[in-house]
Structure 1
Amino acid sequence: MWVECSDGNSYRGVFNSALWTLSQSDNKLFYTRHGSKKGFQCDKALSNYFRLDVSLKENLKSWAGTDSHFKTTYDKIGAVRILNQDVVENLFSFICSSNNNITRISGMVDKLCRLFGEYICTVEGQDYYDFPKIEKLSSSELENILRKEGFGYRAGYIVKSAKKLLSLGEDWLLGLKKENGATYEHARESLMSLPGIGPKVADCICLMSLGHLESIPVDTHIFQVACSNYTPHLSKQKTVTPKIHQEVSSHLRELWGPLAGWAQAIVFCVKINSTSSKTSKKRPISKAEKKKSVKTKVGRKNSSD
């Protein structure tokens, strides 16, 4: 979770077992790293996290050229980047998202870190923690603790999925990455074998952590957009069944191509912004954060170990 700093110009969050403070000019990303070990390759980590090796200019042009609705959508929000998140953190965060809202999801993830994650550092009076390891989440006592903390039925899913991941071995999740040869279909089906993970959550994990950028999560917002602009014959359907999810995602994948999930993120952000009230100044950054420029270079502001 990324939170806007008091200066109004930078954001602070944890990834790669360190705390980062980020700010941006028109074409550079500046950072301060807190609490990480020396020798860490910061520029490489940031480039990978924000997928800075992907230039969106040609893709945006292509999507707008084949889809008039996308062109109108893009004009409202500009470029969006899909974060390349740690797969373990992303998986359990999305288990928390079941029948939930962004505020409660953020609170649950924060509790997981504070209760079971390793301490990183303290900045401006705020303690920061890493996301807990799978071993911690598999503890038999953890389910009762989480239920008392307000996780509800999600507590059981967290513990059961953690235990199953341990039994499968630490390389199982990494083996689902595109860069390691896994197909999108195999990764998606494999994820759905874990407790608490259905089609939408599996697609979110594939898109944001496993490199399968053709993955299209279909939630209520994307379904509404699809019914209005792409699949009007589904407009009388009230719920997104697995069959409807597959039909909508397949249609959009054919329309938008191999980076369809990225195009979906832009449409999703516009839909969210149009249906939600103004966020407070201290707000969490969305998984796909709006960026001022699609071309960004990493620049070191300073770092602390």
Structure 2
Amino acid sequence: MRCCGGSLPCPRAALRLELVLRCGQAFRWRESSPGHWTGVLADRVWTLTQTEERLCYTVYEEEEEEEEGSSTKPKQRDVQRQGEEAAGSLCSEPSPREPGGGTDSCEAQQILHDYFQLDVDLAALYQAWGAADPHFQQVAANFPGVRILRQDPVECLFSFLCTSNNHLVRITGMIERLCQAFGRCLGQLDAEPYHTFPSLQALAGADAERRLRGLGFGYRAAFVSRSAQAVLKQFGTKGLYQLRHVPYPEARRLLCTLPGVGAKVADCVCLMALDKAEAVPVDTHVWQIARRDYGLELGAGARSVPLRMHRELGGFFRRLWGPYAGWAQAVLFCADLKLFRQRPSAGRGPSGEPASREAALAHRRPTSAPAAGQGSAWPGATEAAAAPSKGQRGARRKRCSGEPDCTSPGCAPQGGL
């Protein structure tokens, strides 16, 4: 694969990669080497890292097909070496466009600017939220730079369809298998293959549900396949993107008509893909934050979050934090994750290195595929849309899975947005 790279001004106070890419907004970024994050964005493979003042990137692209008789498989590159280059020369001046095409520095920077929504003045928002909410001001001091990603609506929707009754490690593996089975291969880095996210047409195919069940998706296979069919029928290929231009309540309502999409998933898509900054995804985790830190006693003793509570909690936080309430909620959500609670600086020392080897490896891509039906409840699994069988519910009541992100009854919620 050929590559180019560069950097753009972006202080760590405005963006903390180790927080934003690990908190459960997106599931395809992994820490390929300490402080270097590799994933797929805009159908390209990227490695991101940062200094105190700059966001650095390397973009890898597919090689052009070679002459007949030669291999057309993209060449393997070493992520560690490329990451070291990004931390060095790439953080000085952006690289010019390579001869023969590819992503030039202007286009790459625009993609990153849009993905991380760098036009949003995060410092001003933190200041406003802190002035309105003393609890936020106290917590946010240790968690600067938490932003909401602006994701592709198709990838965001179908990724969150995989989160019901699930935990982070298994979700990541499922989405990876989904991309390998239905996406297009972009090549390999450090012996790891990378793929595009599948198209709606691929997920809506006649045998998609059967193939997904074979990949361990269980009952979610039907939701993925049937939602893809419904999106194509109701909205068309570009229909999800057009929801960026309709009011939040209408976008949320339309999403909730799709198979398997409840209030939590709809709000996640609205917030993270459809430019609805006021959307506040509510799950058992956010519900506990509201009860513990804000004294709200909605639905005490309930095991799930009913639709009425979604509306009431969302309204409460919108009144408190204003039109970017979903962004403020993400900061408190990050601060409350066990992963980050144990290390207020997100596991980083003064030099920005991981606090331990385990921390550096914690978010590498899973190498084994869990069997269908395994896994503990994900915080977003409180919707009735993805109701498991009576036997499955009983199994979750009886035991905890032991996973770090387990949120089975009796365990403290530790999952993602």
- 2:46 is equivalent to residue 20 of structure 1: yes
The SS at the match of 2:57 is strand
Q: How does 1:282-297 map to 2 (within 5 A)?
A: 282-284=361-363
8 Å contact 2:334–2:340 — kept in the other structure?
Answer: no
Structure whose CA Rg is larger: 2
Compute the displacement of 1:217 (Å): 0.1
Compute the displacement of 1:39 (Å): 4.7
1:266: which partner in 2? 331
Please give the alpha-carbon distance, in whole angstroms, between the structure 2 residues aligned to 1:4 and 1:81: 18
Q: How does 1:228-267 map to 2 (within 5 A)?
A: 228-234=292-298, 236-238=300-302, 239-267=304-332
8 Å contact 1:221–1:272 — kept in the other structure?
Answer: no
Q: What amino acid maps onto 1:9 in structure 2?
A: G
2:403: which partner in 1? none
Compute the displacement of 1:235 (Å): 6.0
The SS at the match of 2:45 is strand
Deviates more, 1:223-232 or 1:112-121: 223-232
2:32: which partner in 1? 5
- 2:154 is equivalent to residue 88 of structure 1: yes
Aligned pair partner of 2:255 in 173, 191, 196: 191
Please give the alpha-carbon distance, in whole angstroms, between the structure 1 residues aligned to 2:362 and 2:201: 31
Residues 79-131 of structure 1 show CA distances to partners (whole Å, capped at 9, x for unaligned) of 20111111000000000011111111111110111111001121111111000
Q: What amino acid maps onto 2:325 in structure 1?
A: A
Change (3 A) 1:283 1:2: farther
Q: How does 1:1-305 map to 2 (within 5 A)?
A: 1-6=28-33, 8-35=34-61, 38-39=102-103, 41-168=107-234, 169-177=236-244, 180=245, 182-234=246-298, 236-238=300-302, 239-273=304-338, 280-284=359-363
Q: What amino acid maps onto 1:227 in structure 2?
A: R
Compute the displacement of 1:53 (Å): 0.8
Q: What amino acid maps onto 1:14 in structure 2?
A: V
8 Å contact 1:137–1:158 — kept in the other structure?
Answer: yes
Q: Which runs of 5+ in 2 are unaligned?
A: 1-27, 63-100, 344-357, 365-417
8 Å contact 2:61–2:102 — kept in the other structure?
Answer: no
8 Å contact 2:335–2:341 — kept in the other structure?
Answer: no
Compute the displacement of 1:229 (Å): 2.4
CA RMSD of aligned residues (A): 1.8
Identity percentage over the alignment?
39
Deviates more, 1:257-266 or 1:220-229: 220-229
8 Å contact 1:3–1:282 — kept in the other structure?
Answer: no
Q: What amino acid maps onto 2:322 in structure 1?
A: G
The SS at the match of 2:161 is helix
Q: Which runs of 5+ in 1 are unaligned?
A: 286-305
Compute the displacement of 1:230 (Å): 2.4
8 Å contact 1:96–1:154 — kept in the other structure?
Answer: yes
8 Å contact 2:299–2:309 — kept in the other structure?
Answer: no
8 Å contact 2:208–2:225 — kept in the other structure?
Answer: yes
Q: What amino acid maps onto 1:52 in structure 2?
A: L
2:367: which partner in 1? none
Q: What amino acid maps onto 1:170 in structure 2?
A: T
Change (3 A) 1:76 1:275: closer
Residues 132-157 of structure 1 show CA distances to partners (whole Å, capped at 9, x for unaligned) of 10000011211111112211100000
Deviates more, 1:58-67 or 1:142-151: 142-151
8 Å contact 1:23–1:31 — kept in the other structure?
Answer: yes
Please give the alpha-carbon distance, in whole angstroms, between the structure 2 residues aligned to 1:242 and 1:99: 17
Residues 203-246 of structure 1 show CA distances to partners (whole Å, capped at 9, x for unaligned) of 00000000001000001111001011225222624221000111
Change (3 A) 1:235 1:78: farther
Compute the displacement of 1:274 (Å): 6.3
8 Å contact 1:199–1:242 — kept in the other structure?
Answer: yes
Judging by fraction of residues, say which structure has more helix. 1
The SS at the match of 2:142 is helix
Question: Number of matched residues?
Answer: 281
Please give the alpha-carbon distance, in whole angstroms, between the structure 2 residues aligned to 1:145 and 1:227: 42
Q: What amino acid maps onto 2:53 in structure 1?
A: N
What's the TM-score once normalised by structure 1's chain length?
0.88
What's the TM-score once normalised by structure 2's chain length?
0.65
8 Å contact 1:228–1:235 — kept in the other structure?
Answer: no
2:353: which partner in 1? none
The SS at the match of 1:79 is coil
Judging by fraction of residues, say which structure has more strand. 1
Runs of 4+ aligned residues of structure 1 deviating over 4 Å after TM superposition are 274-279
The SS at the match of 2:252 is helix
Q: What amino acid maps onto 1:89 in structure 2?
A: E
